[in-house]
Chain A
Amino acid sequence: DAGITQSPRHKVTETGTPVTLRCHQTENHRYMYWYRQDPGHGLRLIHYSYGVKDTDKGEVSDGYSVSRSKTEDFLLTLESATSSQTSVYFCAISVGTGGPDTQYFGPGTRLTVL
């Protein structure tokens, strides 16, 4: 357990509505990530952050935005949810003694867009 929580754990929403998922960590780690998991695709990186207000895009960033105003919180926003964004979303941190060399994951959020 790396002290990572995600909220909500489950959400059902309708197409076109905005959705924000929250990732919270308790140990002030610098690197945080958002992934989505879909059958046959493994985990795909949406966005990641390497510090407060420092973020970068991953391979599937279209339709998603992120914000990190505090070290402990990393927010993922779907501005206008679509059915293709139905997925399980994982937050992760990256830690290591010589650098961020190992990832640990939150429990995941199952999002359904109707």
Chain B
Amino acid sequence: AQTVTQSQPEMSVQEAETVTLSCTYDTSESDYYLFWYKQPPSRQMILVIRQEAYKQQNATENRFSVNFQKAAKSFSLKISDSQLGDAAMYFCAYRDTSGTYKYIFGTGTRLKVLA
């Protein structure tokens, strides 16, 4: 069965600095999707970035980028120029293309941004 692991329960970053959140996953599939979601104190789950496994190029969305290492089954999120509004829980998620359309989530990393 597929699994998603976020080994950092909590991280801190100074405002304007860069931070990287780690995510590893386990799958025997070759084609799948990976996601990062942000959950601020409002509790709303917000899609941050999405990566398709067949694409070698790392996805980027403004200050957010990923480092996708398919062979290592690693999918880290880099936040550049951190802002106070980036403080939130961040969840890594996986979905394969086998047809079940189920998503698997990691346990989350709480990011604190220090002024």
B44 touches A107 (CB 8 A): yes
- Interface set, chain B 69-115, CB cutoff 8 A to A: 91, 93, 95, 97, 100-103, 105-108
A42 touches B50 (CB 8 A): no
Q: How far is the CA of A31 from the CA of B108 in the complex (A)?
A: 24
B103 touches A107 (CB 8 A): no
**Please, which residues of chain B bring their CB within 8 A of the CB of A103?**
35, 47, 93, 95, 103
Contacting B33 at CB < 8 Å: which of A50, A58, A101? A101
CB distance from A15 to the nearest CB of B (A): 25
B103 touches A105 (CB 8 A): no
CB distance from B76 to the nearest CB of A (A): 17
CB distance from A108 to the nearest CB of B (A): 5
* Residues of A in contact with B, size category: 20 to 34
**Please, which residues of chain B bring their CB within 8 A of the CB of A92?**
45
B105 touches A102 (CB 8 A): no
CB distance from A51 to the nearest CB of B (A): 11
CB distance from B29 to the nearest CB of A (A): 14
**Please, which residues of chain B bring their CB within 8 A of the CB of A50?**
101
A78 at the interface (CB under 8 A from B): no
Q: List 7 A-B contacts (CB under 8 A).
A: A50-B101, A58-B102, A101-B33, A101-B97, A103-B35, A105-B37, A108-B44
**Residues in A lying within 8 Å of B, measured CB to CB:** 31, 33, 35, 40-45, 48, 50, 56, 58, 88, 90, 92, 94, 99-105, 107-108
